[in-house]
Amino acid sequence: MHPLFDAHSHLGCAPSQGVGWRVICGTREADWGGVLAEAAADPGVIPMLGLHPWFVAEAAPGWELRLEALLRTHPAGVGECGLDFSRQDADRSAQAAALRTQLGLARDLGRPVALHAVRAWGPLLTLLRAAGPLPKAMLHAYSGSPETAKELQALGLWLSLSAARLETHGPAAQASLQAVAGDRLLLESDGQAELTEVLAVMARHGGEDPAVLAARTWENGLRCFREVLA
């Protein structure tokens, strides 16, 4: 079997079997040092440093300056960042401002971005279109419509989908999977699933040979994260 590219996982999560490259995302400032330490200890780890929308409200003043300083001294990407409007108390304007800041850092430094979006597809598309030239970016655990998937790909994004959602949401999730072009699909464990199992689910729902899918998503991962590969 071809080695697998895990395009989204988290700090402290054990790697899946068969993984050659593994992206580890920091979600708040307290994570960033740990993510960089894991990358220093494991040459197969791609570090990402960002401020997740869940933690925007608690971020200490100056977080963006400290993030920029780390990015300038380490070959890390940006994220996990994005918009999440699933909570009633979500500060939408603060989330959007934090995302614009992180997109700007990624663009200026030439780094890939890991995006998160929940119940914010319209605002996300509007923000991305207004942001100017976008850095390379992937959107993890995609849960939107096939139409939105096509719009995101038109902006240059790669997408990964949750294998669990494919199993539980039936035709709707399968339609979204079918809307992702072959050269825009990534695999992710999200630190919760064995990537070999994710591969099997994706291959079954996509009607594809697992070995072919493993090789293709590996190449997609290399293209998406090329700027921070050792």
Percent of the chain with pLDDT over 70: 100
13-35: average pLDDT: 96
Predicted TM-score of the model (pTM): 0.96
Nearest CA among 102, 161, 93, 182 for reference residue 134: 102
Residues 201/163, Cβ–Cβ less than 8 Å: yes
What are the chain's domains?
4-228 (3.20.20.140)
Between 51 and 171, the higher pLDDT residue: 51
Q: Provide φ and ψ at 4, rounded to 5°.
A: -105, 150
Residues 52/22, Cβ–Cβ less than 8 Å: no
Q: Provide φ and ψ at 24, rounded to 5°.
A: -115, 120
Q: Quick check: 230 pLDDT over 80?
A: no
Give the pLDDT of residue 2. Answer: 87
Amino acid at residue number 33: G
184 falls in which pLDDT band (50, 70, 90)? very high
Q: Which residues pair with 118 in a beta bridge?
A: 84
Q: What is the DSSP letter of 194?
A: -
86-105: average pLDDT: 96
Q: Quick check: 1 pLDDT over 80?
A: no
By the 10 Å C-beta count (0-12 exposed, 13-18 middle, 19+ buried), 230 is classed as: exposed
How many residues are present in the chain?
230
Tokens coding 145: 């419509």
* Ranges 93-97, 168-172, 183-187: which has the least confidence: 168-172
Q: Quick check: 53 pLDDT over 90?
A: yes
Averaged pLDDT score across all residues of the chain: 96
Measure Cα distances from 159 to 65, 136, 137 in Å.
29, 12, 9
203 vs 57: CA distance, rounded Å: 39
What is the helix (H) or strand (E) element at residue 124, kind and residue range? helix 121-130
172 falls in which pLDDT band (50, 70, 90)? confident
45 falls in which pLDDT band (50, 70, 90)? very high
Give the pLDDT of residue 212. Answer: 97
201 vs 187: CA distance, rounded Å: 11
Nearest CA among 107, 114, 6, 110 for reference residue 52: 114
